[in-house]
Amino acid sequence: MQDAKQDRLPPNQRWIGHILRWNVDHPGIVPENPKVKLDSWRLTVDGVIEKPQVLNWKDLLALPTHESVSDFHCVEGWSVGDCKWSGVRFKDLAETVKPRTDAKYVFFSCTDGYTTSLELADLMEDNVILAYKLNGKFLDETTGAPLRLVVPQKYAYKSVMYVEKITFMKFRKLGYWEQRGYSDTADVWKNDRRTR
Interface residues with ligand MTE (CB under 6 A) are: 20-23, 26, 29, 31, 74, 110, 112, 114, 142-144, 156-157, 159-162
Instruction: Return the number of other C-beta atoms located less than 10 Å from residue 127's C-beta.
Output: 15
How far does Cα 164 stand from its chain's mean position?
A: 12
Q: Toward ligand MTE, which CB reaches closer, 94 or 110?
A: 110
Please work out the total of residues on this chain that contact Mo ion, with binding judged by CB under 5 A: 2
Residue of the chain from 43, 55, 74, 169 that contacts Mo ion (CB under 5 A): 74
Kindly report the backbone phi and psi dihedral angles of residue 128, in degrees, each rounded to the nearest multiple of 5, phi listed first. -90, 120
User: Cβ of residue 193: shortest distance to ligand MTE, in angstroms?
Assistant: 12
Q: Toward Mo ion, which CB reaches closer, 74 or 129?
A: 74
Q: Toward ligand MTE, which CB reaches closer, 95 or 142?
A: 142
Q: Toward ligand MTE, which CB reaches closer, 47 or 144?
A: 144
User: Cβ of residue 98: shortest distance to Mo ion, in angstroms?
Assistant: 32
SS3 177: helix
Measured distance CA(61)–CA(51) in Å, rounded = 19
166 near Mo ion, rule: CB under 5 A: no
Sites for Mo ion among residues 146-165 (CB under 5 A): 156
Binding mask of the shown chain, residues 126 to 145, with x at each position contacting Mo ion by CB under 5 A:
--------------------
Alpha helices in the chain (DSSP H): 2-7, 57-62, 90-97, 120-123, 176-179
Measured distance CA(29)–CA(173) in Å, rounded = 19
Q: Toward ligand MTE, which CB reaches closer, 32 or 39?
A: 32
Measured distance CA(45)–CA(68) in Å, rounded = 23
DSSP β-ladder status, 42-47 and 163-169: parallel
User: Cβ of residue 194: shortest distance to ligand MTE, in angstroms?
Assistant: 13
